């Protein structure tokens, strides 16, 4: 009897340069709020303070809403042979992006493989679920190529070793060979002497 398999991967997109941009946006928002309030007081006096404060609060709500929407998270769930990819918007709403079977994959392998460049050109829809938008070409980044209706779709993801067993179980012919890393044993004190 084959046991059920369930693998979940949660990816938060690395902000990198966005951190500086977000700090600048917060600083610019503070400057705008202070300028609007001082301008309102200087030109129209005390009665304008209520309007300018309401405008400031509205700006803050809009800014927080846009900031939350720019925060990008992805969920990848592999349940037996089914792969489901979802994007989490604003840390609250979930949008399904891809849902397919491992059995339908044309190829599954690392982006360092010989086929990757050719498959990338063939793919009509490409979705990279990695920590960085521009993912590095390394052994731990894999892709899954499958056909849905008339489109060839490619999912690029951070590979976890436990995924390989599931890939091989449901699609053994179309999965690249994975050589598991071997931990080097430390030399004993006698060999160093």
SS (H, E, C) the chain: CCCCCEEEEEEECCCCHHHHHHHHHHHHHHHHHHHHHHHHHHHHCCCHHHHHHHHHHHHHHHHHHHHHHHCEEEEEEEECCEEEEEEEECCCEEEEEEEEEHHHEEEEEECCCCCHHHHHHHCCEEEEECCCCCCCCCCCEEEEEEEECCEEEEEEEECCHHHHHHHHHHCHHHECCCCCCCCCCCCCHHHHC
**pLDDT at residue 193 is higher than 50:** no
pLDDT for the residue numbered 18 = 65
Within-domain flag for 129: yes
Task: Give the residue numbers spanning the domain of 31.
Answer: 17-70
Residue 89 covered by a domain:
no
Q: Is 80 domain-assigned?
A: no
Number of domains within the chain: 2
Q: What's the pLDDT tens digit per position in 86-129?
A: 988 767 778 899 999 999 999 999 999 899 999 999 999 999 88
Instruction: Tell me: do 66 and 22 sit in the same domain.
Output: yes
Res. 185 pLDDT band, cuts 50 70 90:
low
* 123 in a structural domain: yes
Q: Say if residue 162 is in the same domain as residue 115.
A: yes
Q: Are residues 106 and 60 in the same domain?
A: no
In a domain, 132, yes or no: yes
Confirm whether 57 is domain-assigned. Answer: yes
Convert the pLDDT of each residue in 27-78 to its tens digit. Answer: 888 888 888 888 888 887 778 788 888 888 888 888 887 777 667 788 999 9
């Amino acid at each position: 009897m084959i046991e059920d398999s369930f693998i979940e991967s949660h990816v938060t997109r690395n902000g990198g340069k966005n951190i500086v941009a977000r700090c600048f946006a917060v600083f610019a928002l503070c400057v705008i709020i202070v300028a609007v309030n001082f301008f309102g007081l200087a030109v129209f006096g005390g009665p304008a303070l209520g309007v300018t404060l309401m405008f400031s609060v509205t700006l803050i709500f809009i800014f927080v809403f846009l900031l939350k929407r720019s925060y990008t998270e992805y969920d990848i769930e592999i349940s037996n042979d089914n792969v489901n990819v979802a994007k989490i918007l604003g840390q609250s709403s979930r949008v399904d992006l891809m849902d397919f079977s491992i059995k339908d994959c044309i190829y599954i392998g690392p982006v360092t493989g010989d086929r990757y460049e050719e498959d990338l050109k063939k793919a009509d829809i490409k979705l990279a679920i990695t920590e960085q938008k521009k993912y590095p070409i390394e052994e731990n980044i894999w892709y899954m190529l499958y056909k849905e209706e008339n489109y060839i779709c490619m999912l690029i993801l951070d590979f976890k070793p436990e995924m390989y067993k599931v890939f091989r179980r449901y699609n053994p012919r179309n999965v690249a060979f994975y050589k598991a890393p071997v931990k080097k044993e430390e030399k004993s004190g006698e060999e160093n002497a």
